[in-house]
Amino acid sequence: MRRWWIVLAYVILLIVGMTNKDYFLEWMRTSDPSWLPLMFLFSVMIASIPFLPFTLFAGLMGVKFGAMVGLLINWFGILLTSAIYFFLSRYYFRNYFTAYLGKYKAINKFQYLFEKNAFMAILFGRMIVIIPPLVFNIYCGIADIPFRHFFIATAIGMLPPMFMLAYSGEQLFLSLHNFLLGVIWYLLFLLCLFLCYKLWFHNKLDQSKR
């Protein structure tokens, strides 16, 4: 049933976008700073609801406001949403979210790494997106992880992906060459990061078995 709701939400968004295409394109061409407070609010709202396309929103912010301002909007929404879910899962809906995480059995193998090496585990998890963001936020709230480690690692780790989304949106309409070049460099960055993560993960896992 949940998948049907997601499909329906996307269909509605598509219909609204197509029926208001001219107004939307005109709005995208202007960079009126008076829209910024509302966009910061929208970034939190869209990031908070799992089935809404935050990736699309993040790219559009790059189109409308440029890579750097788009980065700030996207980063603010993700960071605040992460903190909200962290505190909700830790102090208010712990039992409900614990049951929710039961659907993600593979996450249990990260328990030791999260609690003993929280900062690095969260940093890698944010940059590579090993676990879905919503699940990641809830898990960190339930696990024995200090909020300061969670917040700082999230703030640093989300900078590369949020910048890439804003930059891609900006360059897609300015320079296809720069867009493709940026994507290639980012994929190489992710590959190097993933290899570093695998080495670190297996090293820590071996240490925990001794």
Which tens digits make up the pLDDT trace of 77-123? 999 999 999 998 888 887 777 777 767 666 666 666 676 677 888 88
Same domain, 116 and 198: yes
Per-residue 3-state assignment (H helix, E strand, C coil) for 136-189 = HHHHHHHCCCCHHHHHHHHHHHCHHHHHHHHHHHHHHHHCHHHHHHHHHHHHHH
The answer to whether 141 touches 151, Cβ cutoff 8 Å, is no
CA separation for the pair 52, 68 (Å, rounded): 23
CA separation for the pair 210, 194 (Å, rounded): 25
How many distinct structural domains can be found in the chain? Answer: 2
Q: Which of the pair, 81 or 37, is modelled with greater confidence? A: 81
* pLDDT for res 185: 76
In this prediction the pTM is: 0.75
Same domain, 18 and 81: no
Confidence of residue 1 (pLDDT cuts 50, 70, 90): very low
Same domain, 73 and 15: no
* pLDDT for res 38: 87
The answer to whether 124 touches 200, Cβ cutoff 8 Å, is yes
Average pLDDT, the chain: 76
DSSP state letter for 117: S
Under DSSP, is residue 103 helix (H, G, I), strand (E, B) or coil? coil
Q: Which of the pair, 43 or 98, is modelled with greater confidence? A: 43
Same domain, 181 and 78: yes
Same domain, 125 and 160: yes
Same domain, 67 and 145: yes
**HSE value, Cβ hemisphere, 13 Å, CA-based, for 179:** 14
Q: Which of the pair, 12 or 120, is modelled with greater confidence? A: 120
Same domain, 121 and 82: yes
Structural domain that includes position 21: 1-30
Same domain, 24 and 92: no
Angle formed at CA 36 by CA 33 and CA 37, multiple of 5 degrees:
130
